[in-house]
Amino acid sequence: MKKFCLYEDCKIVLGYNRAMIYDFGRNEYYPIPISLAKIINKYNKKQSIDYVVNKYQKEYRKTIKEYFDFLFTKESIFQTETPELYLELSLEYDTYSIINTIILEYSVLIDLKKLESLINSLNVEEIELKISNISDLDIVLSKLNTSKLASIVLVIKYSKQLSKFFFLNLKHKYKKITQIIIYLAPFDKFYYLEEYKITKVSFIKTSLSFFDNLVRPSIFRVNINFFTEALKYNSYYHNKLFIDSSGYIIDSFTKRKRLKNLLEIKDYLRLDKINVLSFINKDNISICKDCEYRYMCVDPRIPKQNKEKKWYSENDCGYNPYIAKWKGQKGWLSTKQ
Ligand code: SF4
């Protein structure tokens, strides 16, 4: 008898009101009811769909069948007689980098040679590169494309030139680009450059700066690296280095400028303070711990501690996991209400 199996690159995250399937293969996600999440968690790889459907009383069977049809449509499950042959994806977070990601506001004051040597010496895997002038793109990307980086996230100021064709050309030239975010756009939307949904292009109406307190669902990240890091650490602050347009390294905890010379970074890394925020992951932060987005959410808000030593964020992020609604949706209430 064939058992049903959730694809190994799909993971279920339970929230308070609903669950979310994170599909790492497709770089996307979709919500499912908690009851379906529980069924999958209980019977995945152990039972056939018929067995599960017949376990429930007659009046529920049609709904459960529809649940499974939906999962087939999404290509999240398959059936097999040998489920034991399909191994689980490792959820161990592993990195050989001292700094995993550099978040940089580019300007002509940034010494690209120094930056490249920093990336190579610290084994930096990713750079989030904020550029306001598109005429600088080629000079910066050609330098970074030859570094040890595995991924470049491009953050560009909106202009009419930024068409899909423009991005396809850019990606063709600089293969390390994995995500493009266009800020100060006249609309909020996102699309993928390729049919296989590898490079996400997001347009956001707001600006984007290091610690601006805004949570933007259009730039959420669904990939196994981000997921495993978020299981263990604060994914916004762990192993990250913030460098402003003057070449100053920014201390994320105090938001004060600390060092000018990029090569003094090793001294900076010895400061214990840099690690304080790293260990406050979403499972430790009030409200976020009940949210199904918590392992994809890019959240720059600096957590605070209350008198009982519990972590919380001062500003509402706009999502209420207790009713599964974003601000602006009908029936939304703030989490304080
Ligand atoms: S509650 Fe808001 S900030 Fe917290 S994980 Fe959910 S979407 Fe992100």
Ligand 1 atom index nearest CA of 301: 3
Query: What's the confidence (pLDDT) of residue 3?
Result: 96
**Model confidence over 40-96: pLDDT tens digits?**
999 999 999 999 999 999 999 999 999 999 999 999 999 999 999 998 899 998 887
Under DSSP, the state recorded for 184 is S
The answer to whether the CB of 295 falls within 8 A of the CB of 230 is: yes
Query: What's the confidence (pLDDT) of residue 277?
Result: 81
**What is the distance in A from the centroid of ligand 1 to the CA of 243?**
25
Ligand 1 atom index nearest CA of 319: 2
Q: What are the structural domain ranges in the chain?
A: 3-85, 101-281
Query: What's the confidence (pLDDT) of residue 94?
Result: 81
Under DSSP, the state recorded for 293 is T
The answer to whether the CB of 92 falls within 8 A of the CB of 170 is: no
Query: What's the confidence (pLDDT) of residue 254?
Result: 60
177 φ, ψ (degrees, to nearest 5): -70, 125
- The answer for residues whose C-beta is within 8 angstroms of residue 142's C-beta and 6 or more apart is 174
**What is the distance in A from the centroid of ligand 1 to the CA of 115?**
32
Query: What's the confidence (pLDDT) of residue 244?
Result: 86
**Model confidence over 281-290: pLDDT tens digits?**
999 999 999 9
pLDDT in tens, the chain (337 residues): 899 999 999 999 999 999 999 999 988 999 999 999 999 999 999 999 999 999 999 999 999 999 999 999 999 999 999 999 998 899 998 887 778 899 999 998 888 988 898 888 888 999 999 998 899 999 999 999 889 899 999 999 999 989 999 999 999 999 999 999 999 999 998 999 887 778 899 999 988 887 787 898 988 999 999 999 999 999 998 888 888 888 887 766 665 555 556 656 665 655 545 567 888 999 999 999 999 999 999 999 989 999 999 999 999 999 999 999 999 999 999 987 7
Query: What's the confidence (pLDDT) of residue 311?
Result: 95
Query: What's the confidence (pLDDT) of residue 262?
Result: 60
For 3-85, CATH gives 3.90.930
Q: Ligand 1 pocket test: which of 221, 234, 319 has the largest number of ligand atoms within 8 Å of its C-beta?
A: 319
Q: Which residues line ligand 1 (CB under 6 A)?
A: 215, 282, 287-288, 291, 293-294, 297, 299, 317, 319, 321
Nearest CA to ligand 1 atom 4: 288
**What is the distance in A from the centroid of ligand 1 to the CA of 316?**
9
Query: What's the confidence (pLDDT) of residue 245?
Result: 87
The answer to whether the CB of 232 falls within 8 A of the CB of 211 is: no
**What is the distance in A from the centroid of ligand 1 to the CA of 293?**
6
Query: What's the confidence (pLDDT) of residue 263?
Result: 54
**What is the distance in A from the centroid of ligand 1 to the CA of 122?**
30
Q: What angle do CA 230, 105, 254 make, to 5 degrees?
A: 60
